[in-house]
Amino acid sequence: MTKKRMFITGGAGFIGSNSAEYFAGKGWKVTVFDNFSRAGSVKNAKFLKSLKRNIQMVKGDIRHDQRLLDKEIAQTDTVLHLAAQVAVTTSVSYPKEDFEINALGTLNVLEAVRKSKNKPALIFASTNKVYGGMEGIRVRQLQSRYAYETYPFGISEDKPLDFHSPYGCSKGAADQYVRDYSRIYGLKTCVFRQSCVYGPRQFGVEDQGWVAWFIIAIVTGKPITIYGDGRQVRDILYIDDLVKAYELAFANRLAMRGEIFNVGGGRKFTISVWSEFGSVLKDYFGRKIDVKFSDWRPGDQKIYVSDIRKIGKMLGWKPKVSPEKGIRMLCKWVEENKELF
Ligand SMILES: NC(=O)c1ccc[n+]([C@@H]2O[C@H](COP(=O)([O-])OP(=O)(O)OC[C@H]3O[C@@H](n4cnc5c(N)ncnc54)[C@H](O)[C@@H]3O)[C@@H](O)[C@H]2O)c1
């Protein structure tokens, strides 16, 4: 049987390197395409090489290496499009660069798929930020967290789009292009609007990847600032669960017809940013963790929880790793790999 092939843009990033490891472990021939701009991406690439599996590395940039994209994408069956500028704060400082990577870069990848003979299936990692700040949603304050007054299942795909921040706009534009390329050109595409994903090989920083960032800061003795009151709630998703969802979507013909899925921990796997997360960390490290509190950051939602019933129904997927378990696994990984940070 011929091996299945996967081309992963941003394959040396957090989600990309975990996906490359998983699919190569299942016998897929994987090509990692990355410009290695993210701190940690070179370390992730080194890790992938050390696995000695069928993983090829290609250095390139989705903004301007169209020919390289065309050549590589012509030889694959699936594309996992993850390469992106990922921080909201950076997008506010450099909106044009953010647009070029996230919106134009995605169009370049889609064009390579459209021009190819084999028309590989493509999954795009979008974000819940396409729904904006959702200021109109009524929220109540409990002791350690906020809760929705309505939306018992969280936010579904029907929520109107309301791009907020240059990052929200550039990812949102890409999200809609990916959907529309299925409608207009009949390509096999699928959009995952992801919530907070966390796990090993995530080089979290204060501006992006907060779960990993707090743990890295504790292990390496850096100060932690909590913006807001720490009761903000997020549904968090362990990386292994996300990669499984990618696998199920690629295998599902109906999902690859421009479907959109909200993907996160869902209402069962939520945690508040400090009031609850701090307790899990205190238990794990066996000591009180000192943090400093600062003002709310603009646009910071008091609560975001994905309604994951659609992906559950269509793909039979549900996340398995609870926040308590996943956080402990990540703490252990950071401790064992302290020299990487
Ligand atoms: N991690 C999360 O919680 C989360 C949540 C929602 C959406 N997403 C999306 O998932 C995707 C992957 O996120 P991640 O957490 O793995 O981020 P990451 O920063 O770890 O990975 C992104 C990778 O893309 C590469 N890259 C950046 N610009 C590039 C360019 N112009 N050309 C080629 N490569 C480039 C970087 O070097 C990096 O290796 C992104 O599209 C992100 O927007 C992530």
pLDDT digits (tens, 9 = 90+) for 112-161: 999 999 999 999 999 999 999 898 999 999 999 999 999 999 999 999 99
Q: Answer yes or no: is the C-beta of 63 below 6 A from any ligand 1 atom.
A: yes
Instruction: Compute the average pLDDT of residues 25-31.
Output: 97
Q: How many domains does the chain have?
A: 1
Residue 300 has pLDDT above 90, yes or no: no
Say yes or no: CB of residue 84 within 6 Å of ligand 1.
yes
Determine whether the shortest distance from the Cβ of 207 to ligand 1 is under 6 A: no
Record the tokens describing residue 206, joined without a space: 């204060």
Closest-CA residue, ligand 1 atom 25, reads 10
Question: Which numbered atom of ligand 1 lies nearest the CA of 124?
Answer: 41
pLDDT value, residue 158? 97
Return the ∠ at Cα 6 (arms to 88 and 2), rounded to 5°. 170
Cα(212) to ligand 1 centroid in Å equals: 15
Q: Determine whether 131 is an active site residue.
A: no
pLDDT at 135: 87
Catalytic residue among 22, 131, 167, 238, which? 167
Domain with residue 277: its CATH number is: 3.40.50.720
C-beta of 256 in contact with ligand 1 (< 6 A): no
**pLDDT bracket for residue 299 (50, 70, 90):** confident
pLDDT band at 1 (very low <50, low <70, confident <90, very high): low
**Residue 241, domain extent:** 5-340
Residues of the chain above pLDDT 70, percent: 99
When pLDDT is averaged across residues 226-241 and rounded to a whole number, the result is 97
- Output 317 or 164, whichever has higher pLDDT: 317
The residues facing 78 across adjacent strands are 6, 121
175 CB under 6 A from ligand 1?
A: no
Average pLDDT over residues 194-214: 96
Per-residue pLDDT, 183: 97
Tell me, using a 6 A CB cutoff, whether residue 36 lines ligand 1: yes
SS (H, E, C) 69-107: HHHHHCCCCEEEECCCCCCHHHHHHCHHHHHHHHHHHHH
Report field, pTM of the whole predicted structure over 0.95: yes
What spacing in Å lies between the alpha carbon of 89 and ligand 1's midpoint?
15
Which pLDDT belongs to residue 4? 95
pLDDT at 244: 98
Whole-number average pLDDT of the chain: 96
pLDDT tens-digit map of 172-198: 999 999 999 999 999 999 999 999 999
- 10 Å CB burial of residue 286 (0-12, 13-18, 19+) is exposed
Distance between CA atoms of residues 76 and 59, nearest Å: 17
Please, what is the angle between helix 239-250 and helix 14-25, to 10°? 60
Return the pLDDT at 3: 78
Give the Cα separation of 165 and 171 in Å (integer): 10
Is there a contact between 155 and 128 (Cβ–Cβ < 8 Å)?
A: yes
pLDDT at 217 over 80: yes
pLDDT band of 341, cuts 50, 70, 90: very high
Is 281's pLDDT higher than 70?
A: yes
Tens of pLDDT along 63-75?
999 999 999 999 9
Mutate to test the pocket of ligand 1, among 86, 130, 197 (most ligand atoms within 8 A of CB): 86
